[in-house]
Chains A and B, each alone.
Chain A
C-alpha cells in the first residue's frame, strides 16, 4: 500500500521495524483505495467475515460441552440447551449463524454474478471463493450431523451413500468413510474433528481471497476499471468501514430476530428426535441452503448420474470466468444478460422450492426442466451472449453516469485543455 504506517509509540516502532505486521494490516484496512460508488451489495464481504468469526467463537465454546459419541451426542446437545449457562443462546447463535452465513454468501455470489466481478483480472478471487463455498458446504453438512437427531443421521446416511455410486470402489470408500458398515459412532467422531478443522481452513482461504482482491482492487457497479488513487476511489477508512458497519448492524438485527424470536424456524423438528438407525423419517430434507442442489440430485433417475450432476452444479461455478465470454462486466450495460441472470436467480430459487417437495409427478418434471435450465445458463446462454449481445456504451469514469450532460462536457473540455 502506498501510505506507509508510522507507529506513534516507541513500542510500536520497535515492533514494526522487526515485523511490519501493523503496516500490513493498516494498509489493507485504512488507505486501501476503493471505488467510490460501491452499493450495499458490497458490504457482504465484511458481513461474511463477521459470520465466520462468530461461528468459530460460538463453535469453540460449544465444543467444550459437546460429546462426539453416538450414545451421548444427542443428550449432550440437550445438556447444552438446558443445563449449560447460556448454552441455549450459544447454540441458537451457532445454528442460525450457519443459515445466515449461507444467506449472506448467496447474496455475495449473486452480486458477483450480476456485476461480473469474476471476470479478468479477478478470476482467481472468484475461484478461491468457490473453494470457500465448497468448504462451507462440507462444514455445514458435518455440523448438522453432530446433534445426532433423525435428520442428522439420515442426512448423513443419504449423503455418505452418494460415494457408493462410484463404480467398483464405491462400497470400500463408504465403509472407509463410516469406519464401519453403516453410519455410527466412528463417523460422528470424525465428522466432529473435521467440522472443527474446516473453519480454520476457510479462514486461511479468506485471507487469500482478500489478498487476491486487493491486487486489482474492487470491482464496482459500473464494472469499469478505475485508476487507484484517482478521483474514482476513496480510502477504505472511514468511507467503507462505516458503510460496512452500518450494513452489519442491519444484518445483526435480522440475526437477533432469528435467534431470539424464531430460533427453530430454519431447522427441522425431526432433529429433536434422537437418531434411530431402524427408522427413516417420512420425508428427508436437507437444510434450506442445500435444497437447490438436492433438487438437482433427485432430478436424475440414475444414482451415479444424479451424483455427478449435483457435484457438477457446484464445480461449474469455478469455470464461470471462462464460460462468460462477454468483456463487459456489469449487467447494467448488458441488456440481455441482465434478464438472463435474473432468470437464473429465479430458477435457482425455484430449484430450492422443488428440493423441499416430494420428488414425484409434476414436481419431478419441473425439477428436471429447472435442472436443465441451470446448466444451460452456464454452458449455452453465457458463452453465446458474449457474441450476440449488443452491450451499452461503458462510461469513462464512475462520475460520468451520475453527472449531468453539461457537467460531463465541462470535465471533457477541461481534460482537453
Chain B
C-alpha cells in the first residue's frame, strides 16, 4: 500500500475502468452464445417412433436431433447374454436393466463414444456393435467392452407412450 491518500480522481479512475471492463465482458457473451444450438434446432428435440413393424432380432435407426438412434428388438439370447455379464468385466460398469427399461427394447444413440462414428450392428467380438473407425467393440447391451471408446453407447431420454410407441427426447 502506498502512503498517498485516495483521491476523488483515484476513485473515478478505478470505477470507470471497472465498469468499462465489466461492460465489455458482458458484451462478449452474445457473440459466444450465438453459436449454441438455436431455437429451431431445439424445437426438433423429440421424435415419436412406431415400434409395430420391428420383429425380434431387427433394428431400425431413426434420426433424433440430427443423431442416429438405434432401436433394437432384442432376441431372448441377446437379453440373457447381456444380463449374464458380470459388472467387473465392464470398463464402464452398468447393469443391463439400467440400460433397457423394457428388456426387449434397446434404445440408444448410435454414435460411438470415441470420436462419433456410427457403429455397425451385430458385429464385433461381443455380438453387439462394432465401430469400424477405431475398433471399439460393444456388447448386446451397447456397453463398451474393448477398444478406445471411454463409455457405453448413450441412452437417450425416452418414454413408452403405449405398448407400440416410444417418444425419444
Interface residues of B in 87-141 (CB under 8 A from A): 111, 114-118, 131-135
Give the complex CA separation of A176 and B41 in angstroms: 12
Smallest Cβ-Cβ distance to A358: which chain B residue: B135
Is the CB–CB distance between A278 and B118 below 8 Å? Answer: yes
Interface residues of B in 13-51 (CB under 8 A from A): 32, 35-38, 41
A179–B66 CA distance with the chains assembled, in angstroms: 11
Do residues B133 and A179 form an inter-chain contact, with CB atoms below 8 A?
A: no
User: For residue A161, which residue of chain B has the nearest CB?
Assistant: B116
Which A residues are CB-close (under 8 A) to B135?
A: 359-360
A23-38 at interface with B (beta carbon < 8 Å): none
B133/A280 in contact, CB under 8 A: yes
> Does any Cβ of A come within 8 Å of B56's Cβ?
no
- Contact of A280 with B132 in the complex, beta carbons under 8 Å: yes
Instruction: Decide if B79 is an interface residue (CB 8 Å cutoff).
Output: no
Chain A residues whose CB sits within 8 angstroms of the CB of B131 once the complex forms: 280
Task: Judge whether A303 and B37 touch: CB under 8 Å.
Answer: no
Taking CB atoms, residues of chain B closer than 8 Å to A306 are: 148
**What is the CB-to-nearest-CB distance from A411 to chain B, in angstroms, rounded to a whole number?**
62
Q: How far is the CA of A304 from the CA of B151 in the complex (A)?
A: 12
Whether A158 pairs with B133 at a CB distance below 8 angstroms is: yes
A279, B148: Cβ atoms closer than 8 Å = no
Across-interface contacts of B68 in A (CB, < 8 A): 277-278
Q: In whole angstroms, what is the CA distance A179 to B147 when docked?
A: 29
Q: Is A101 an interface residue (CB 8 A)?
A: no
Q: Does B55 sit at the interface, judged by CB under 8 A? A: no
CB contact under 8 A between A303 and B63, given known A154-B117, A298-B134, A359-B134: no
Alpha-carbon distance between A164 and B117 when the two chains are bound, in angstroms? 13
Most B C-beta atoms less than 10 A away, residue of A162, A164, A181, A277: A181
Task: Identify which of A39-47, A182-190, A388-396 touches chain B.
Answer: A182-190
**Shortest Cβ distance from A276 into B: residue:** B118
Distance in Å from the Cβ of B70 to the closest Cβ of chain A? 11
Q: Are A278 and B132 in contact (CB under 8 A)?
A: no
Residue of B nearest to A160 (CB): B116
How far is B67's CA from A183's CA once the two chains are assembled, in angstroms? 9
Whether B41 contacts A186 by the Cβ 8 Å rule is yes
Query: Please, what's the 1-or-0 string for A144-166, where 1 marks a CB less than 8 Å from any CB in chain B?
Result: 00000000001001101110100
Taken together as a complex, chains A and B put the C-alpha atoms of A349 and B133 apart, in Å, by 22
Residues of B within 8 Å of A162, CB to CB, are 115
A401 sits at the interface (CB 8 A): no
Q: What are the residues of chain A within 8 A of B147 when measuring CB–CB?
A: 301
Verify B35–A190 contact, CB threshold 8 A: yes
Q: Taking the complex as formed, is A282 at the interface, i.e. its CB lies under 8 A from any CB of chain B?
A: yes
A71 at the interface (CB under 8 A from B): no
Q: Number of B residues whose C-beta is below 8 Å from A?
A: 27
Docked pose: A77 CA to B68 CA in angstroms: 26
Count the A residues whose beta carbon is within 8 Å of the partner chain — how many?
35
Q: Which of A280-311 contact B (CB under 8 A)?
A: 280, 282-284, 298, 300-304, 306
Tell me which residues from 129 to 162 in chain B have a Cβ below 8 Å from any Cβ of chain A: 131-135, 147-150
B66-A301 in contact (CB<8A): no
Contact, CB under 8 Å: B133 / A284: yes
Please report the C-alpha to C-alpha distance between residue A286 and residue B32 in the assembled complex, in whole angstroms: 29
Nearest-neighbour CB distance to chain A for B10, whole angstroms, equals 38
Alpha-carbon separation in the docked complex, A284 to B117 (Å)? 9
Q: Is B65 positioned at the interface, with any CB of A under 8 Å from its CB?
A: yes
Least Cβ–Cβ distance between B67 and chain A, in angstroms: 5
Q: Which B residues are CB-close (under 8 A) to A190?
A: 35
Select from chain B the residue with minimum beta-carbon distance to A172: B36
Say whether A180 contacts B115, CB under 8 Å: no
A155 → B minimal CB distance (Å): 10
Say yes or no: is A177 at the interface (Cβ < 8 Å to chain B).
Answer: yes
Given A157-B115, A278-B118, do A182 and B66 touch, yes or no (CB 8 Å)?
Answer: yes
Complex CA–CA separation, A160 to B115 (angstroms): 8
A154 to B118, CA, bound (A): 10
Q: Give bound CA distance, A158 to B112, whole Å.
A: 10
Least CB distance, A113 to chain B, in whole angstroms: 31
B58 interface contact, C-beta 8 A: no
Complex Cα spacing A359 to B115, Å:
14
* Bound Cα distance A162, B149 (Å): 12
B61 on interface, CB distance cutoff 8 Å: yes
State how many angstroms separate the Cβ of B60 from the closest Cβ of chain A.
11
B167 to chain A, nearest CB (A): 17
Once the chains are docked, how many angstroms separate the CA of A180 from the CA of B63? 13
Is the CB of A175 closer than 8 A to any CB of chain B?
Answer: yes
Q: How far is the CA of A184 from the CA of B68 in the complex (A)?
A: 13
CA distance A280 to B65 in the complex (A): 18
Given contacts A176-B35, A182-B67, A278-B61, contact A158 B132 (CB under 8 A): no
A-B contact pairs, 19 of them (CB 8 A): A157-B116, A158-B117, A175-B36, A175-B37, A179-B41, A180-B37, A180-B65, A180-B66, A186-B37, A277-B66, A280-B133, A282-B132, A284-B133, A298-B134, A300-B148, A301-B147, A301-B148, A303-B114, A360-B135
- Taking A161-B116, A175-B36, A178-B37 as given, write out 8 further A-B residue pairs in contact, using a Cβ cutoff of 8 Å, ordered by the A residue number: A176-B36, A179-B36, A278-B68, A280-B131, A280-B132, A298-B148, A303-B149, A359-B134
B-side interface residues toward A, CB under 8 Å? 32, 35-38, 41, 61, 63, 65-68, 111, 114-118, 131-135, 147-150
The 5 closest A-B pairs by CB, nearest first: A182-B66, A181-B65, A161-B116, A280-B117, A158-B115
